[in-house]
């Protein structure tokens, strides 16, 4: 058996590493001529870091990321609402990593090339379609200039292309445009001194005015003790442009909403002014699909279940897909049956996460405070909402997303 993986993002590379560990041959085809550190920060939550640690990547990831200590919530007046420890600091057996997406991709790519061979990661191969018969599947490719490349044949094809999946469009040509959430976001990174714990994932404000997510992703980046800090501004707006993770954003489009956010723990206007770059992206997702697998071809990660980036969980769900798919291919001899069982295992749980990210992600804590206070400062948070209710909101999302401690502790650790 040989598995052809389309896309060398987080899902594609993780799947390649898991298949290699399982003794299943694979090749990864990446459309870009070279893998560059694009994007900004993401979080690898304990259910996903568990899988990466079991791949032997913990040391490499810890060296290029921040091991997150806590999640902290504040209103737009800088008042503290709630915090909880994260990862190992919360008692998990695995850490939570805050990391630049490019750094995570680089760790995965290097590991794959070292373990499987650099010749099995092909760059500059853009998928244009797939055909299959009872014995295998053939993928058509073009190069960066659009010239045809030789078609490639494998036992199974897994599409990990992400939000611009060609094969998803091939199987669902009438699906239509992505679903816009009504929220636009601007993202950036800033060199800054450590704030709060120096490893805090911080959420501030709410969408009706503005919400920010702020967390460091690289430590000690210069001799002055600065970190590279990722930030996101989210604002309810009826207008958006087509999704593109690399489209430049304009500070003036959102700055008026946060220009008076001067807190004792962070001067946010000054912090944003010093951003190295700003990207703009509409918060969009797709309704859950009825199926992912078609014979010997299946979808994985964002190609299968694009979700709003509100639970720090998109990469995590892709990594969990990889584990399930690898186990199915390893234990079920018939490839088409293996893909069917993989879909059966992951379709429902990922649909639940897509819907939870629309209604009750972790930042629903901020929504509750906004509604209960009428967007005004409070005297004490205990007079607004009991801590137990705040904790219940957080724990509820963890259960849906699959990283509550009880569930993870009950899962066996594979060698």
pLDDT, tens digit (0-9, with 9 covering 90-100), for 135-173: 999 999 999 999 999 999 999 999 999 888 999 999 999
Q: Is the confidence at residue 243, as pLDDT, over 70?
A: no
Q: Which of 111-125, 322-336, 387-401 has the lowest mean pLDDT?
A: 387-401
Rounded distance between C-alpha atoms, residue 176 and residue 155, angstroms: 30
Question: What is the predicted pLDDT for the residue at 413?
Answer: 38
Q: Which residues contact 279 (CB under 8 A, 6 or more apart)?
A: 40, 186, 187, 188, 245, 246, 247, 248, 249
Q: What is the mean pLDDT of the chain?
A: 92
Q: Which residues contact 3 (CB under 8 A, 6 or more apart)?
A: 15, 19, 24, 25, 26, 27, 154, 155, 156, 157, 158, 329
Question: What is the predicted pLDDT for the residue at 404?
Answer: 80
Backbone angles phi, psi at 202, to 5 degrees: -115, 135
314: its two tokens:
């998109």
Question: What is the predicted pLDDT for the residue at 415?
Answer: 29
pLDDT band at 239 (very low <50, low <70, confident <90, very high): low
Pairing of strands 126-133, 136-142: antiparallel
Rounded distance between C-alpha atoms, residue 87 and residue 67, angstroms: 8
- With tokens 């018939």, the residue in question is 334
140 forms beta bridges with 129
- DSSP 8-state symbol, 289: P
- With tokens 């501004």, the residue in question is 233
Question: What is the predicted pLDDT for the residue at 175?
Answer: 92
Rounded distance between C-alpha atoms, residue 367 and residue 394, angstroms: 13
pLDDT, tens digit (0-9, with 9 covering 90-100), for 202-221: 999 999 999 999 999 999 99
154 forms beta bridges with 137
DSSP assignment of 92-117: -SS--EEEEHHHHHHHHHHHHHHHH-
Pairing of strands 121-123, 66-67: unpaired
Average pLDDT over residues 397-402: 82
45: its two tokens:
């939550």
Q: Is the confidence at residue 236, as pLDDT, over 80?
A: yes
**Neighbouring C-alpha atoms within 13 Å toward the C-beta of 133:** 3
Q: Report all structural domains of the chain as residue ranges with CATH numbers, in order of start.
A: 2-66+101-177+287-359 (3.50.50.60)
| pTM of structure | 0.93
Average pLDDT over residues 35-61: 91
Q: Kindly report each contact of residues 61-65 with a partner whose C-beta sits within 8 Å and lies 24 or more positions away, as own/partner.
A: 61/97, 61/99, 61/104, 61/107, 62/95, 62/97, 64/99, 64/100, 64/103, 64/106, 64/107, 64/218, 65/97, 65/98, 65/99, 65/100, 65/103, 65/104, 65/217, 65/218
221: its two tokens:
């980046």
Question: What is the predicted pLDDT for the residue at 281?
Answer: 86
Backbone angles phi, psi at 31, to 5 degrees: -65, -35
Decide which of 400 and 264 is more confident: 264
- DSSP 8-state symbol, 23: T
Q: Is the confidence at residue 110, as pLDDT, over 80?
A: yes
Question: What is the predicted pLDDT for the residue at 240?
Answer: 63
pLDDT band at 412 (very low <50, low <70, confident <90, very high): very low
305: its two tokens:
């279940």
Average pLDDT over residues 87-106: 95
């Amino acid at each position: 058996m040989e598995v052809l993986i389309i896309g060398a993002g987080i899902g594609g590379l993780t799947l390649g590493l898991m298949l290699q560990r399982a003794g299943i041959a694979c090749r990864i085809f990446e459309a870009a001529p070279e893998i560059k550190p694009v994007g900004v920060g993401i979080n690898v939550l304990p259910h996903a870091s568990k899988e990466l640690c079991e791949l032997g990547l913990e040391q490499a990831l810890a060296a290029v990321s921040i091991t997150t200590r806590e999640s902290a919530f504040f209103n737009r007046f800088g008042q503290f609402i709630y915090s909880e420890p994260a990862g190992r600091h919360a008692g998990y057996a695995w850490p939570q990593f805050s990391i630049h997406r490019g750094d995570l991709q680089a760790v995965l790519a290097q590991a794959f090339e070292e373990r499987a061979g650099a010749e099995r990661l092909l760059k500059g191969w853009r998928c244009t379609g797939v055909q299959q018969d009872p014995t295998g599947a053939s993928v058509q490719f073009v190069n960066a200039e659009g010239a045809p490349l030789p078609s490639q044949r494998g036992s199974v094809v897994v599409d990990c292309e992400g939000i611009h999946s060609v094969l998803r469009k091939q199987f669902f040509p009438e699906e239509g445009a992505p679903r816009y959430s009504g929220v636009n976001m601007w993202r950036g990174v800033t060199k800054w001194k450590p704030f709060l714990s120096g490893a805090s994932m911080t959420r501030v404000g709410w969408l009706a005015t503005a919400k920010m997510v702020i967390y460091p992703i690289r430590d000690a980046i210069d001799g002055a003790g600065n970190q590279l800090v990722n930030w996101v501004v989210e604002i309810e707006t009826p207008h958006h442009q087509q999704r593109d993770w690399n489209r430049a954003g304009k500070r003036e489009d959102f700055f008026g909403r946060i220009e008076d956010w001067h807190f004792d723990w962070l001067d946010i206007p000054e912090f944003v002014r010093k951003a190295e770059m700003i990207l703009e992206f509409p918060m969009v997702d797709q309704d859950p699909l009825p199926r992912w697998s078609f014979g010997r071809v299946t979808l994985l990660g964002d190609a299968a279940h694009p979700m709003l980036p509100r639970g720090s969980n998109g990469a995590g769900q892709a990594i969990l897909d990889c584990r399930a798919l690898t186990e199915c291919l390893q234990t079920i001899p018939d490839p088409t049956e293996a893909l069917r069982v993989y879909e059966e295992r992951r379709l429902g749980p990922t649909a639940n996460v897509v819907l939870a990210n629309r209604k009750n992600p972790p930042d629903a804590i901020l929504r509750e405070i906004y509604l209960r206070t009428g967007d005004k400062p409070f005297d004490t948070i205990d007079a607004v909402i009991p801590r137990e209710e705040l904790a219940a909101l957080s724990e509820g999302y963890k259960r849906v997303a699959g990283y509550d401690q009880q569930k993870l502790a009950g899962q066996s650790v594979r060698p």
